[in-house]
Structure 1
Amino acid sequence: MPMSKRTRILIGFVTFATVPAMTLLAGGASPPSGVSALVDQSDGRNWAAFGRTFGEQHFSPLADINDKTIGRLHLAWYVDLPPEASISAPLAIDGVLYTATGHSVVRAWDAGSGRRLWEFDPKAPEASGMKLRQGWGSRGLAWWNGKLYVGTQDGRLIAIDARTGREIWSQLTVSKDDLRFISGAPRVFDGKVIIGHGGADAGDTRGYVTTYDAETGKQLWRFYTVPGNPADGFENDAMEMAAKTWSGQWWKFGGGGTVWNAMTYDARTDTVYIGTGNGSPWNHRVRSQGEGDNLFLCSIVALDAKTGRYKWHYQINPGESWDYNAAMDMELADLDISGQRRQVLMTAPKNGFFYVIDRITGKLISAEPIAKVSWASKIDLATGRPVEMPGIRYADSQKSVMWPGTAGAHNWLPMSFDPRTGIAYIPKIEMATIYDDKGIDTGKWRRPSGNFIDGANHADMITPLPGAGTSALLAWDVRRQKPLWSVPTPGFWNGGTMATAGNLVFQGHADGSFNAFASDSGKKLWRFDAQVGVLAPPITYRARGRQYVTVLTGFGGAGAILGEIANRYGWDYRSQKRRILTFALDGKASLPPASPTAAPVEPDTDFAPDAALVAEGQAVYGARCTYCHGVFAVAAGLAPDLRRSPIVRDKDAFAAIVHGGALVPNGMPQFAELSDRELESIRQYVRSENRKSLRK
């Protein structure tokens, strides 16, 4: 039943102190030009950060487009993008729209017309080497004082003049020959820019974040998220403390804990909060002899923004073993809870619980499940620790069926939070993974070379389980930790959300629609046929006195691994249209007729199967190719579907691309280490999957 306006205001009532932008900046210094756009009580004219403001709420106070005027919302302009990953969040500042798509190609557009102003291409694929084998391109940008900041696949952090597109400075934030890479959006605060990285799933990677001077690129501080070799000494007291929670020779495996996505800044206390990733490798018994909490894996860590000094941490999964990372977005708010005003941090990480944490002390306030959870009965509020269910750690080669699975109950595609009502809007996933480590000697395991994921376990995401592969847009009452409403969404992999003061929540869906729902009831009020899956988080802003809504379209991302589950609508790498769509009240533009989705798989009539090579190829493909081209060679838009590719049928062309690196500039990695037999085995396996698909 729809709520009255009065009820909406009373439920989970949230207010923010009205503090001038200048006083919110540490030290009381005069703010750089336009910094008021980054404070949580800004007027909404700009969308100047990944989550619009420092608090990362993905909420806009603009309300010209609202639940009464939504019927007048039409396409104002659109632009076709090249065939590159477009699942990223744009920025809009002073009438200019900025995008970072593909391998961090940054473009500026007139926000009112879509006219391109400039383009900056860092040529990241050519510089990436083996780093190109992970990641899906840029998730977004940061902005500060007339500059844009973008991270690249090869690990550079680049500052760009927002007016001209000219590079101002560039810093390599990782080692050139390690497997660290950047796919997440940088964050800015108080004249500084912070960046993390990915890479813990395939390399001996030790996570960290680094902060640079936003004007000059000079490194200011670095914080490691897990301890290194004790023989080398510890960087600080926090690392010495964390080392006591590890066992064995963990540093030989790197440890993990990469900050590949979530970072949030609290201007009031000058604190940076980072969300850390899973262990490297996943298996706790390999990584740390099955002992210890392994700080600061899967944790929210609070750092002094000036110095990087540790303040506090909260760990969501001590001794993590399932890729339950805490790298999902973190929203800040002031909430009235049990009659007391609390400064809180909210997050819905992979493990299925929604956490509300006191952001001053790090103490857990509440945690309740938002999806099916089989691994824990509850989170103990007294200790802050989960109460684990028996048998979840797949010991003695036994299988553990885990809800949620490695895709999480919520992934990186952001939720949004309405500070007026205290309601969060979450793109919820219902998926499971079956884990075991049968056949793995946990005492002697060493990382195999070239794999896209080295979890030191077996993670089965494919076996059908009742209820798996579904999703919903969930409205969650944060103060009461209860659902307000839930709307089923197509498949399991859908877009990030944006809430507005117009009583609207926007979300793109896998079926090719871009939608607006009533914030208070979940009623669908508006739908636009985008002609392709819409996964990117939308933004809204004002330009030339008019409110616009912009979203990037295109299907792919992490869902590409589970191609057969994710791509139920046939979105194909080559045929799908990747676009910028911008809407306004009484817009007059329209899209051209939709192009066909993927053509049927044509029979590979010249294929002569070799059973031994097919079996070998399945293993090589699984280790090298699944990450982009999908399980069973069923792609989901991120990369070409190899079952359809004529290249696979041409031995020389296939070798030139896979072994020789002919398409590296296009984002296709080089696998120079593969032997002729391994190359042939991949061809045999893919061609056998072509034949199987025709029999279905």
Structure 2
Amino acid sequence: MIQMKPIWKKRFLAIPFCGFLAITCLVVHEGIAAPTSTDWSSYGGNQFEQHFSPLAQITHDNAHRLKLAWHHDFDTNRGQEGIPIVVDGVMYASSNWSRVFALEAATGRLLWSYDPRVPGDTAWRGCCDTVNRGVAYWHGMIYVGTFDGRLVALDARTGREVWSVNTIPPDAILGKARAYSVDGAPRIAHGNVIIGNGGAELGARGFVSAFDGMTGKLKWRFFTVPNVDDEADHAVSDPVLHDMAWPTWSPTEAWHVSGGGGTVWDSILYDPVTDLVYIGVGNGSPWNYKLRSDGKGDNLFLGSIVAVKPDTGEYVWHFQETPRDQWDYTSTQTITTADLPVDGQVRHVILHAPKNGFFYMIDARTGQFLSGRNYVFVNWATGLDPHTGRPLFTPDALYTLTGRNTKMYPGALGAHNFPPMAYSPLTRLAYIPAQQVPETYHADKVWSWNHKGWNLGLDGVQPADMADMKGWTIAWDPVRQQERFRIDHIGPWNGGMLVTGGDILFQGLSDGTFHAYDALNGQDLFSFPAQSGIIATPMTYSIDGIQYVAIEVGWGGTYPLYFGGPYKHLTTTGNRSRLLVFALEGNDRLPDQAPHDWSPVRPPARFDTAAAQRGAPDYATYCIGCHGHDVMSGGVLPDLRWSGALSDDTGFYNVVGRGALTAFGMDEFGSVLSRQKIEDIRQFIIQQANRSWHGTTNGN
């Protein structure tokens, strides 16, 4: 269903001129430049990460003729979040477990593949699946960050490993075993390969590192939050952390053991216009602001965009979108730059739609707040200060200070998560994969550190019922700060956006379909059944005059893992991970979809209620991130309710306590949980399985 508001469009004269890369030309649309390369040589498609391509062969008139040109099956059926790149007719795509594939972009013929052999027992380090969002290309090399924290350079012709470095320094550990992981795409600036990391939910301190693209030598490192003792890290961030960030924190034991957070797990942008690198900083660790900082200070640079110099990492400016973060409102979502009119003059600006539900326009050179407005319903703030952009908190939102349990819009999954938004310099609209997933936060009053477990400082985060969960594509006018139109979807957790010079908007959805929409009004022009949920983002390229559109398919990430099985058809058909490529002419087809036999298996009828009650908190701390709030993993991982190991306490302990399935991503937890605690978790799962069994048609 589409809700439309009037939209105008004016065609601008295109004047091409050669740019700074041999494969790049520029088209100017009333002062707005965008590359017209037939390749898609970087993560965001152009230098400004607009996820825009000027290719215009596919239009409103012919999009309905799109066909599958070729497809490639991945060797894992976990979630896929990658955006492929195409350079000189070769496609480089990353898959789950940080694997890389080089394919002939016109035919899909496999040229080479690379497996970094990420150990299965590192899966617990990630909050949100062992995904990978993409690779980078520079001077004949492909760069990929691996889930276990390495940055690897590969020869683009052969896939041979040129160098590999560990991006996690010993001095970041601060005396505790942290949960660092890397799943974001590297970025290139002045020959430096820049990469961040994730892990704040399990305990981490954020930083960004830059390595020499030729040798892998560390060039600079910028920490995003100070260490608890205000000591020097011998990093470029030392002066600004001491002078500016440290006074916005208050030392606590929780901060000391959990690192403070601020991981940069996704958005990094190098902007050639300003010659600055923009870093999107994540949430606090623990989430609980009272425990983390005694309820004092804004906690810089959590929930911020930080601008640094590409050669040295030297701080230039910052803008904090969510001070006092206690909701997991990261600023790691797509950072996009564009030229737009502000108060009668064209300015180079940052456009940003972070988790917190507000859309920001910021001066890209200075960090000055220009305008902002909520793009979805929010109740944590009544608005933004018109001069500073600081949120105007509602009293109940500060739940860690009030002690009241509060249902927040948005919840921890945000109004916009990792799938990139797109911006068209033709329509001057931003297209946001928005959602509503409210949650009720329950603050924990007693702190304890959980190695290999989540460390939120909360008694729990209670998700809303399914009726309150929604998803849309919102076309947003950043100058007027208003919605132009929206496309309603059946639920949240949909894929990212691509917009083209043909005024076509491409998106994959969580319901397992891939679409082409009219970018002017949201009309659905084309739909394809992809046989699995889509959370990745499309890209486009042209070879021999043919425009192709590619999308990775594979259901996964936080939403299906944590919230279980809201899309019931995906839990019965299974997850299929593929790369699909479309064109106006094509004769490929997917294999017939055979349903998986995932019929419920009757669990043990008896369980110990008291033990199940004891096991529930440990399940929430150590298991819920992968196996779901309701012990369902949404079709991504095996459903624990029907596991044969439930009927055998020894077999269950061998898997959970001793790591019998480590190679498949299930680490051992016997080092942090006693055998009795693991047995209590088994009793809790049996209890949940029986509740589900009696609700199924097979459970009579």
Q: Same fold (TM over 0.5)?
A: yes
- Equivalent position of 2:539 in the other structure: 539
Query: What is residue 698 of structure 2 aligned with on the other side?
Result: none
Deviations 1:265-289 (A, max 9, x none): 1112210000001111111111111
Q: How far has the Cα of 1:486 moved from its partner?
A: 0.7
Q: Can you list the C-alpha shifts for 1:32-74, whole angstroms capped at 9, x where unaligned?
A: x757799963224111122112311111111111111112210
2:324 maps to 1:319: yes
Shift of 1:189: 1.8
Q: AA paired with 1:577? A: R
Deviation, 1:152, is 1.2
CA gap 1:237/1:531 in 2 versus in 1, 3 angstroms = same
State whether structure 2 residue 83 is matched by structure 1 residue 89.
yes
| Equivalent pair of 1:149/1:159 in contact (CA under 8 Å) | yes
Give per-residue Cα distances to partners, 1:60-107, cap 9 Å, x unaligned. Answer: 111111111112210011122222332221112221111111110111
On the 8 A contact 1:103/1:125 being kept in 2, the answer is no
Does structure 1 conserve the Cα–Cα contact (< 8 Å) formed by 2:646 and 2:682?
A: yes
Change (3 A) 1:435 1:178: closer
Specify the alignment match of 2:297 in structure 1: 292
Look up the match of 1:649: 647
What pairs up with 1:424-435 in 2 under 5 angstroms?
A: 424-435=430-441
Partner Cα distance (1:637, 1:291) in 2: 42
Shift in alpha-carbon separation, 1:17–1:451, aligned structure 2, 3 A: farther
CA contact (8 A) 2:507 2:514 kept: yes
Deviates more, 1:219-228 or 1:80-89: 80-89
| Aligned mate of 1:245, from 244, 248, 273 | 248
Report the 3-state secondary structure (helix = DSSP H, G, I; strand = E; otherwise coil) of the residue aligned with 1:484.
strand
1:649/1:683 contact within 8 Å kept: no
Residues 251-303 of structure 1 show CA distances to partners (whole Å, capped at 9, x for unaligned) of: 45411111000111111221000000111111111111111111111000000
Alpha-carbon distance, 1:119 to partner: 1.1
Letter in 2 for 1:517: Y
Deviations 1:157-203 (A, max 9, x none): 11111110111111101147532111111111221110010111111
1:470 equivalent in structure 2 = 470
Residue aligning to 1:161: 155
Q: Counterparts of 1:350-499 in structure 2 under 5 Å?
A: 350-394=355-399, 395-437=401-443, 440-441=445-446, 445-452=447-454, 454-464=455-465, 468-499=468-499
Q: Which residue of 1 aligns with 2:269?
A: 264
Contact 2:69/2:586 (8 A) holds in 1? yes
Q: Bigger shift: 349-358 or 44-53? A: 44-53
Corresponding residue for 1:119? 113
| TM-score, length-scaled by structure 2 | 0.91
Whole-Å Cα distance in 2 between the matches of residues 534 and 586 of structure 1?
23
Match of 1:273 among 272, 278, 282: 278
Q: Deviations over 1:626-665 (max 9, x none)?
A: 1111111111133211113324334444333322323323
- How far 1:561 moved relative to its partner? 3.6
Number of the residue aligned with 1:57 = 50
Q: In the TM superposition, what is the alpha-carbon distance from 1:376 to its structure 2 partner? A: 0.9
From the superposition, tell whether residues 624 and 396 of structure 1 become closer, same or farther in structure 2 (CA, over 3 Å): same
Cα 1:194–1:273 shift into 2, 3 Å? same
3-state DSSP of counterpart to 1:41: strand
Deviation of 1:456 after TM superposition, in Å, equals 1.1
The Cα offsets for residues 403-457 of structure 1, whole Å up to 9 and x where unpaired, read as 111110100111111011210111111121212325x14xxx24233323x2212
Secondary structure in 1 matching 2:9: helix
The one-letter code matched in structure 1 to 2:417 is N
Change in CA separation of 1:118 and 1:656 when aligned onto 2, cut-off 3 Å: farther
Three-state SS of the structure 2 residue aligned to 1:569 is: helix
Deviations 1:331-368 (A, max 9, x none): 11011123111100011001100011001110111111
CA contact (8 A) 1:40 1:54 kept: no
Tell me, in whole angstroms, the C-alpha distance in 2 between the residues paired with 1:581 and 1:680. 44
Name stretches of at least 5 consecutive residues in structure 1 with no aligned partner: 23-30
Q: Give the secondary structure class of the aligned counterpart of 1:407.
A: coil
Distance 1:236 1:449, change over 3 A: closer
Report the counterpart of residue 173 of structure 2 in structure 1.
none
Alpha-carbon distance change, 332 to 598 in structure 1, aligned in 2, over 3 angstroms: farther
**Which stretches of structure 1, 4 residues or longer, exceed 6 Å deviation after superposition?**
1-5, 15-19, 35-40
For the 8 Å contact 1:404–1:431, the answer to whether it is kept is yes
Return 500-509 or 668-677, whichever deviates more: 668-677
Q: Which residue of 2 aligns with 1:563?
A: 563
Residue 131 (str. 1) matches residue 129 (str. 2): no
For 1:598 and 1:348, the matched residues in 2 are separated by 41
Tell me how far apart the structure 2 counterparts of residues 433 and 199 of structure 1 sit (CA, whole Å).
Answer: 21
Query: Is 1:129–1:670's contact at 8 Å kept on the other side of the alignment?
Result: no
Q: Is the counterpart of residue 688 in structure 1 residue 682 in structure 2?
A: no
Contact persistence 1:498–1:539 (CA under 8 A): yes
Match of 1:45 in 2: 38
Of 329, 333, 336, which residue of structure 1 is paired with 2:338? 333
Q: Which residue of 2 aligns with 1:675?
A: 674
Provide the identity percentage.
Answer: 38
1:614 to 580, 604, 612: 612
Paired position in structure 1 for 2:202: 202
Q: Show the counterpart of 2:174.
A: none
| CA 1:526–1:597: 2 relative to 1, 3 Å | farther
Do the aligned partners of 2:321 and 2:391 also contact (CA within 8 Å) in 1? yes
Alpha-carbon distance between aligned partners in 1 of 2:472 and 2:105, rounded to the nearest angstrom:
31
Q: Please give the alpha-carbon distance, in whole angstroms, between the structure 2 residues aligned to 1:180 and 1:434.
A: 27
CA distance in 2, matches of 1:167, 1:36: 31
- How big is the shift at 1:672? 3.0
Q: Is the 8 A contact 1:125 1:153 kept in 2?
A: no
The 3-state SS of whatever aligns with 2:691 is helix
1:222 counterpart = 2:215 = no
Distance 1:166 1:502 in 2: 38
Q: SS of the counterpart of 2:211?
A: strand
**What residue in structure 1 maps to residue 593 of structure 2?**
594
User: Do structure 1's residue 305 and structure 2's residue 313 form an aligned pair?
Assistant: no
Distance 1:344 1:272 in 2: 14
Q: Aligned residue for 1:28?
A: none
Specify the code of the residue in structure 1 equivalent to 2:574.
Answer: S
Matched residue, 1:149: 143
Q: How many residues matched?
A: 674
Higher mean C-alpha displacement, 133-142 vs 608-617: 133-142
When residues 287 and 80 of structure 1 are mapped into structure 2, their CA distance, relative to the original with a 3 A threshold, is: same
Measure, in 1, the Cα distance between the counterparts of 2:633 and 2:674.
Answer: 24
- The partner residue of 1:77 within 70, 89, 92 is 70
Q: CA shift at 1:374, angstroms?
A: 0.4
Q: Output the CA distance in 2 between the equivalents of 1:186 and 1:17.
A: 32
Could you tell me whether the CA contact under 8 Å between 2:355 and 2:416 is conserved in 1?
A: yes
Q: Which SS does the other structure have where 1:323 is aligned? A: coil
Q: What amino acid sits opposite 1:320 in the alignment?
A: D
Q: Distance in 2 between matches of 1:653 and 1:17?
A: 69
User: What is the aligned partner in structure 2 of residue 182 from structure 1?
Assistant: 182
Scaled by the length of structure 1, the TM-score of the pair is 0.92
> Residues 61 and 529 (structure 1 numbering): CA distance in 2 closer, same or farther, change over 3 Å?
same
**5+ residue gaps, structure 2:** 171-176, 696-700
- For 2:251 and 2:103, how far apart are their aligned partners in 1? 53
Give the Cα separation in 2 of the matches to 1:274 and 1:638: 31
